[in-house]
């Protein structure tokens, strides 16, 4: 069957069908564009493409089908043990770059690194710092390590439940911890442990803030939060009365990042 005929008959949008063909058969978009009218699939190729189309149609994100996600212009290996990095998390990057400014040798710690997309993107653009990243999931940390190697970054990975096994004194802590409730996460394909906080949605964030406050040290904190979790500002005010506390909105106008600065 011709690729163009297959695309016409597909029950999935044209651009997605074409993307799945290209990625399944490892054809570059440029080559596909030139050859698509004459490209003929053998039965086995047809079956492979159709299988991925069916997975996509049944709701599996394209990132999990092809084990790849893009974040901040970089490509990361992912699988179902880690969250697909979301573009709104780039707000943490922007805020962290501002805080870093021209400083060097800062200790920057990410809690709950997942695929490592966030800390690796930071380390690539601001290499003269010391990077540390944790996750409670060993499987997630394996993926993050693999991505760090691929992107040639130097990051110390630590298996830890929040700050429990961390024994460095960081200057900056960043995190995109789980902050959804079960019903908000129901239709998402990412691992539940990456999405849903035990207890109530802001439980893990509050626990982390509490642990940081006990370090008795001036630390910049930049955390992703849910759009309706502005109450965390008050919680922070109690823990860090002398700090400046702000909430940044994402490009869609939703509350997204909580920052505690000195
Ligand atoms: C929302 S995902 C964020 C992943 C990645 N930082 C990103 O933004 O794409 C949350 C991550 O936190 C990890 N996590 C959940 N509970 C944790 C805990 N108690 N301590 C450390 N990490 C935890 C999960 O395994 C998951 O990788």
Same domain, 48 and 131: no
160 within a domain of the structure (yes/no):
yes
Task: Say whether pLDDT at 262 is over 80.
Answer: no
Would residue 14 be called left, alpha or beta, if left means φ above 0 and alpha means ψ between -120 and 50 degrees? alpha
Residue 10 forms part of a structural domain: yes
Mean pLDDT of 94-111: 97
| Å from CA of 150 to ligand 1 middle | 21
Would you state the pLDDT for residue 32? Answer: 87
Do 86 and 183 fall into the same domain?
yes
pLDDT the model gives residue 101:
95
Residues in contact with ligand 1 (CB, 6 Å cut-off): 82-83, 85, 89, 111-115, 117-118, 134-137, 140, 161-162, 176-178, 193-194, 204
Tokens representing residue 114 in the block: 């997942």
Question: Is 44 buried (19+), middle (13-18) or exposed (0-12) by CB count in 10 A?
Answer: exposed
- pLDDT at position 10 is 86
pLDDT at 239: 96
Q: In whole angstroms, how far apart are CA 66 and each of 12, 69, 70, 116, 236?
A: 17, 9, 12, 18, 40
**Host domain of residue 8:** 3-59
Distance 4 CA to ligand 1 centre (A): 42
Task: Express each pLDDT in 149-206 by its tens digit.
Answer: 999 999 999 999 999 999 999 999 999 999 999 999 999 999 999 999 999 999 999 9
User: Are both 28 and 81 inside the same structural domain?
Assistant: no
33 and 147 inside one domain? no
- Claim to verify: residue 111 and residue 178 sit in the same structural domain: yes
- The DSSP letter of residue 166 is -
CA 99 – ligand 1 centroid, Å: 23
Residues 95 and 48 placed together within one structural domain of the fold: no
**Model's pTM, two decimal places?**
0.94
> Looking at the 3D structure of the chain, how many domains does it have?
2
* Nearest Cα residue to atom 19 of ligand 1: 161
Q: Residues of the chain with pLDDT > 90: what percent?
A: 87
Tokens 């035990």 label which residue?
198
Which of 64, 74, 66 has its CA nearest to residue 26? Answer: 66
Distance 202 CA to ligand 1 centre (A): 13
pLDDT of residue 159: 98
pLDDT of residue 142: 98
Interval 13-56: pLDDT, tens = 999 999 999 999 999 999 988 888 888 888 899 999 999 999 99
**What does the pLDDT look like over 212-253, one tens digit per residue?**
999 989 999 999 999 999 999 999 999 999 999 999 999 999
Q: Do 169 and 96 share a domain, yes or no?
A: yes
Counting Cβ atoms within 10 Å, is residue 108 exposed (0-12), middle (13-18) or buried (19+)?
Answer: buried
**Do 184 and 247 reside in the same domain of the chain?**
yes
- Distance, in Å, from the CA atom of 84 to the CA atom of 114, rounded to the nearest integer, reads 9
CB atoms within 10 A of CB 258: 24
| Residue 64 resides in a domain | no
Residues 120 and 248 placed together within one structural domain of the fold: yes
Whole-number pLDDT of residue 74: 97
Q: Are 115 and 140 in contact (CB under 8 A)?
A: yes
């Amino acid at each position: 069957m011709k690729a163009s005929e297959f695309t016409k008959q597909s029950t999935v949008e044209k651009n997605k069908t074409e993307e799945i063909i290209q990625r399944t058969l490892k054809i570059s978009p440029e080559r596909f564009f030139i050859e698509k009218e004459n490209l003929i699939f053998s039965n086995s190729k047809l079956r492979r493409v159709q299988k991925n189309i069916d997975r996509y149609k049944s709701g599996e994100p394209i990132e999990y089908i092809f084990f790849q996600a893009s974040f901040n212009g970089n490509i990361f290996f992912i699988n179902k043990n880690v969250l697909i990095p979301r573009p709104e998390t780039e707000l943490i990057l922007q805020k962290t770059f501002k805080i870093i400014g021209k400083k060097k040798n800062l200790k920057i710690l990410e809690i709950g690194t997942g695929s490592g997309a966030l800390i690796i993107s930071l380390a690539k653009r601001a290499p003269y710092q010391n990077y540390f990243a944790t996750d409670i999931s060993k499987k997630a940390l394996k993926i993050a390590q693999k991505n760090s190697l691929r992107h040639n970054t130097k990051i110390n990975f630590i298996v830890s439940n929040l700050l429990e096994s961390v024994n460095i004194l960081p200057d900056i802590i960043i995190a995109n911890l789980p902050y959804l409730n079960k019903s908000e996460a129901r239709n998402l394909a990412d691992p539940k442990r990456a999405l849903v906080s035990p207890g109530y949605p802001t439980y893990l964030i509050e626990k982390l803030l509490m642990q940081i406050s006990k370090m008795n040290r001036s630390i910049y904190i930049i955390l992703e939060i849910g759009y309706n979790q502005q109450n965390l500002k008050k919680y922070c005010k109690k823990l860090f009365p002398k700090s400046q506390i702000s909430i940044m909105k994402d490009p869609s106008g939703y509350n997204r990042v909580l920052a505690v600065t000195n």
